[in-house]
Amino acid sequence: MTGQRGATRSETARIAILEATAAQFTERGWDHLTIEGIAAAAGVGKQTIYRWWRSKSALVAECLLEGLLLPASFLPVDTGDVRADLTAWLDAILRFAEDPRTAELFRSLVAAAAEDEQVGHQLSDALGTPSSLQTRLESARAAGDLRPDAPLRELGDALVGAVIVRVIGRTTHHDEAAGLLVSAILGPRPDRPAGAEA
Amino acid sequence: MTGQRGATRSETARIAILEATAAQFTERGWDHLTIEGIAAAAGVGKQTIYRWWRSKSALVAECLLEGLLLPASFLPVDTGDVRADLTAWLDAILRFAEDPRTAELFRSLVAAAAEDEQVGHQLSDALGTPSSLQTRLESARAAGDLRPDAPLRELGDALVGAVIVRVIGRTTHHDEAAGLLVSAILGPRPDRPAGAEA
Amino acid sequence: MTGQRGATRSETARIAILEATAAQFTERGWDHLTIEGIAAAAGVGKQTIYRWWRSKSALVAECLLEGLLLPASFLPVDTGDVRADLTAWLDAILRFAEDPRTAELFRSLVAAAAEDEQVGHQLSDALGTPSSLQTRLESARAAGDLRPDAPLRELGDALVGAVIVRVIGRTTHHDEAAGLLVSAILGPRPDRPAGAEA
Amino acid sequence: MTGQRGATRSETARIAILEATAAQFTERGWDHLTIEGIAAAAGVGKQTIYRWWRSKSALVAECLLEGLLLPASFLPVDTGDVRADLTAWLDAILRFAEDPRTAELFRSLVAAAAEDEQVGHQLSDALGTPSSLQTRLESARAAGDLRPDAPLRELGDALVGAVIVRVIGRTTHHDEAAGLLVSAILGPRPDRPAGAEA
DNA sequence: GACTAAGCGAGACGGTACGTCGCGTCTTTAC
DNA sequence: GTAAAGACGCGACGTACCGTCTCGCTTAGTC
């Protein structure tokens, strides 16, 4: 019956905090991200942050969810050509992850994801795994572009994982990297349809 | 001309510090790892740490180098059967990374690697990438187990990367995971050796 | 024309607040007395307090006025024997001020009085100064128990002040203290009436 | 044998802190005195304060001891004329306590003394009670200026206490107040010296 | 053997950030 | 229009570590 007595949560404050978090995270990275800094940048009391979020991680996870840290979710399209589609998707991720202007941000995200489960899940989602990528792979399997027993989950992990390994190892960018990875993992593009084997 | 005047670096202290670092890292993780804590645990003055290491990361990197954090370097063997060899190697890594007793440590290592270049390189080395893994893959290529144009570097990244993605996503363990990954990435084991086709 | 629109001040709330103030003041002292604590203890919104009182001091002053902090006003009686009357009055104050169970409360009152004018006046009144004590002293002067030019105000201040000094200095209780003080300040009881000088 | 290992306490910091405490106390009073403010004013880390003092009170007590808050200890002199000596002493205290420029400071000291035992003792000492005042009163008793059974302790308390009561009650200054108090409490000056009685 | 250096344990120092408490104001809903 | 509830911006609390800087040793060459 009662519903809610007392003042309600300020949406203004919520947005200011998330935007400040994104800005500070981008500027200063995962370590060096401070609640005080966020509160000051958002023009908000620290208590307002502690009231609604358990930790720095929860803030970052929510930023990811709102698309304030990654440009948008990276989603593979479905044109019928699975290699081209995955190459495009992976290329977008790679460009972001290895662009000098955003590489540090990406590494910070990986660090945050490694330290916090919530962030981990959210980052996976933002990169397209598992859901949207799985969907695309299933469609490829159905179309006969992948073997019927191809372990889709593992293929997806391998694709994204390769990016993360490159990022951790500070491997510099290479234009064909996306294509190479896709062909490495999905196998080379069959030049001719199955009948060619005959 | 002057060789060295004054006392020399204490090896005792060096070892105590590295061991304390490993212990604290294992117990408390990458964040929550403090120089003061290490110094206290090692029975050492803080200055002795700052004198010889630039940062927490440098300490952790040296611990990795000394094998104090990971059980040993994960090295693929060469029995002639590349799939079996890589499966064994990957399984060892996966068991470590997903064992509840060591998963947190592994995640902390990934976080540290994402934040610090030195640690990143050291962790790659400890996992066998690039050097020893590349060697094994080259040998496989030479043996005709991989296509001549197989992108070895990308294959290696994909294998390790898949583990890291699983770890970040908190995917629970699965006994055949290593085998699935290897077959996903290297392709299915040919039923007959290459010569059979002739 | 209507004298009053809307709801009127809740006497229930007023009493709950004052009683909570007295209780919290007694328990926790002048510092550590918080509006939030009072509001919670009284089951009242903070605003209801701010609406009717300017400050913590005003609350405490009103508690004094209502006799919620000191057992009652300390009033000297008039039996004709000024020394006995003042000794009784002072003894009551001293017992309260130096009883271990109430000494802390009394000290808190002195602190509050020193910090806030309102409380200062209210505390003076509660101790009987100036009005009721002055009345008794005037009556004594009229009866010839005090010299005609005795500075009544100063005598009263000295009597109460001595208690406060003892309280501040944490002097422990002494049964004859009240009597000693009265005889110190009013001078020794003349053994014989004035005629004895003749 | 060793005595002291490690860096020693910085006297510079100690003095800066005490001076900052005195300055802030004078400016802002007992409440509104903050450790952060003191640390900032002293150019010192908060921890340096917490390392050496238990509380704000301890700081204030030490300031009193060092004479940084009261101009100096108020000490009665001994010219042989007890009434004149005590009047001069009390007048100095009264002038300080009721001067508009310092009254607030004095009230703050009383508040602090009421809340904290250490400060209480230190303030008593600074006002001359009990030691130096007792000495003067004993000398007066020995000289026959006071009755042999005069309760010296109570007389002293009454004199200082009267000042405190006036301060708490915000009584405004009056030039003859010191003289009136002395004559009220010690009794009127005998018109003739003791020898006249003989 | 005396005389430097440097290393070392200890720990004080000026700082930054933590997470909590209380302030006094404002906003919402209930009566 | 008063009241309970409670979110808000703010300021201070006392604590944990940071990285730097003395201290009083000890340890090793160099004269």
Q: State in Å, rounded, how far the first CA of chain C is from the last one.
A: 76
Cα–Cα separations (whole angstroms), residue A182 to A83, A156, B185 = 7, 10, 10
Q: How far does A13 lie from chain B, in Å, by closest CA?
A: 28
Q: Which of A44-48, A170-174, D23-27, D73-77 has the lowest mean pLDDT?
A: A170-174
Residue A198 has what pLDDT? Answer: 37
Residue D196 has what pLDDT? Answer: 43
D8: CB within 7 A of chain E nucleic strand: yes
User: How far is Cα B146 from Cα B187, in angstroms, rounded to an integer?
Assistant: 9
**pLDDT tens digit sequence for B164-189:** 999 998 987 778 889 988 988 887 76
Q: Is residue A72 pLDDT above 80, yes or no?
A: no
Nucleotide with minimal C1' distance from the CA of D4 is F24
Residue B9 has what pLDDT? Answer: 92
Average pLDDT, chain A: 90
Residue A150 has what pLDDT? Answer: 87
**Any contact of D with A, at least 3 CB pairs below 8 A?**
no
Nucleotide with minimal C1' distance from the CA of B37 is F17
Q: Is residue A191 pLDDT above 70, yes or no?
A: no
Least CB-CB distance to D123: which of C113, C168, C180? Answer: C168
Task: Flag residues 117-156 of C with CB < 7 Å from strand F.
Answer: none
The Å distance, CA of A17 to C1' of E24, is 23
The Å distance, CA of B7 to C1' of F26, is 9
A36: CB within 7 A of chain E nucleic strand: yes
Residue C187 has what pLDDT? Answer: 75
**B60 with B25: CB under 8 angstroms?**
yes
Q: Is residue A173 pLDDT above 90, yes or no?
A: no
Give the mean model confidence (pLDDT) for residues D38-60. 97
Residue A192 has what pLDDT? Answer: 44
Q: Is residue A160 pLDDT above 50, yes or no?
A: yes
- Determine how many CB atoms are found less than 10 A away from the CB of residue A100: 8
Q: Is residue D92 pLDDT above 50, yes or no?
A: yes
Six token digits for residue A109: 């995200």
Least CB-CB distance to A157: which of B107, B115, B165? Answer: B165
Residue B5 has what pLDDT? Answer: 82
DSSP states of D37-66: HHHHHHT--HHHHHHH-SSHHHHHHHHHHT
Residue A3 has what pLDDT? Answer: 67
**Residue from D181, D185, D191 nearest D88 by CA:** D181
Q: How far does B24 lie from chain A, in Å, by closest CA?
A: 16
HEC assignment per residue over chain C: CCCCCCCCCCHHHHHHHHHHHHHHHHHHCCCCCCHHHHHHHHCCCHHHHHHHCCCHHHHHHHHHHCCCCCCCCCCCCCCCCHHHHHHHHHHHHHHHHHCHHHHHHHHHHHHHHHHCHHHHHHHHHHHCCCHHHHHHHHHHHHCCCCCCCCCHHHHHHHHHHHHHHHHHCCCCCCCCHHHHHHHHHHCCCCCCCHHHHC
Q: How far does D6 lie from chain C, in Å, by closest CA?
A: 38
Read off the pTM.
0.90
Six token digits for residue C154: 């100063």
For residue B195, name the pLDDT band (cuts at 50, 70, 90).
very low
D55: CB within 7 A of chain F nucleic strand: yes
Task: Flag residues 60-99 of A with CB < 7 Å from strand F.
Answer: none
Query: Chain A contacts of B111, Cβ < 8 Å?
Result: 110-112, 114-115
For residue B58, name the pLDDT band (cuts at 50, 70, 90).
very high
A5 vs A11, which has greater pLDDT? A11
Residue A147 has what pLDDT? Answer: 87
For residue B196, name the pLDDT band (cuts at 50, 70, 90).
very low
Mean pLDDT, consecutive 10-residue stretches, chain C (198 aa), reads 62 94 95 96 95 95 94 88 94 92 94 95 89 92 89 90 92 83 79 45
User: How far is Cα D177 from Cα D185, in angstroms, rounded to an integer?
Assistant: 12
User: How far is Cα B104 from Cα A117, in angstroms, rounded to an integer?
Assistant: 11
Is residue A167 classed as helix, strand or coil in its secondary structure? Answer: helix
Residue D3 has what pLDDT? Answer: 61
Residue C196 has what pLDDT? Answer: 43
Average pLDDT, chain B: 90
**For residue A130, cis peptide bond before it (omega within 30 degrees of 0):** yes
**B89 with B74: CB under 8 angstroms?**
yes
D154 alpha carbon, distance to own chain's centre: 17
**pLDDT tens digit sequence for B28-48:** 999 999 999 999 999 999 999
**pLDDT tens digit sequence for C170-186:** 887 778 889 988 988 88
Q: What's the maximum distance between 2 C-alpha atoms anywhere in chain D?
A: 73
Q: How far does A19 lie from chain B, in Å, by closest CA?
A: 23
Contacts for A198 with CB less than 8 Å, ≥ 6 apart: none
User: How far is Cα D93 from Cα B187, in angstroms, rounded to an integer?
Assistant: 97
Task: Flag residues 9-38 of C with CB < 7 Å from strand E.
Answer: 32-37
**A168 with A107: CB under 8 angstroms?**
yes
> CB B181 to CB A110 under 8 A?
no
Neighbour subunits, B (≥3 Cβ pairs < 8 A): A
Least CB-CB distance to B161: which of A111, A162, A170? Answer: A162
Q: Is residue D109 pLDDT above 50, yes or no?
A: yes
Give the mean model confidence (pLDDT) for residues A165-181. 87
* Helix H or strand E encompassing A40: helix A35-42
pLDDT winner (highest mean) among A126-135, B129-138, C9-18, D14-23: D14-23
**A59 with A134: CB under 8 angstroms?**
no
Give the mean model confidence (pLDDT) for residues D19-25. 98
Residue D192 has what pLDDT? Answer: 44
* Nucleotides in F strand less than 7 A from protein CB: 1-30
Residue D1 has what pLDDT? Answer: 47
For residue B131, name the pLDDT band (cuts at 50, 70, 90).
confident
A171 vs D118, which has greater pLDDT? D118
Q: Is residue B136 pLDDT above 90, yes or no?
A: yes
Least CB-CB distance to D165: which of C29, C164, C185? Answer: C164
**pLDDT tens digit sequence for B77-130:** 999 999 999 999 999 999 999 999 999 999 999 999 999 999 999 999 999 887
Query: Chain C contacts of D123, Cβ < 8 Å?
Result: 168
**A132 with A71: CB under 8 angstroms?**
no
Q: How far does A47 lie from chain B, in Å, by closest CA?
A: 23
Q: Is residue A174 pLDDT above 80, yes or no?
A: no
**pLDDT tens digit sequence for D150-184:** 889 889 999 999 999 999 988 877 788 899 889 88
Task: Flag residues 135-194 of D with CB < 7 Å from strand E.
Answer: none
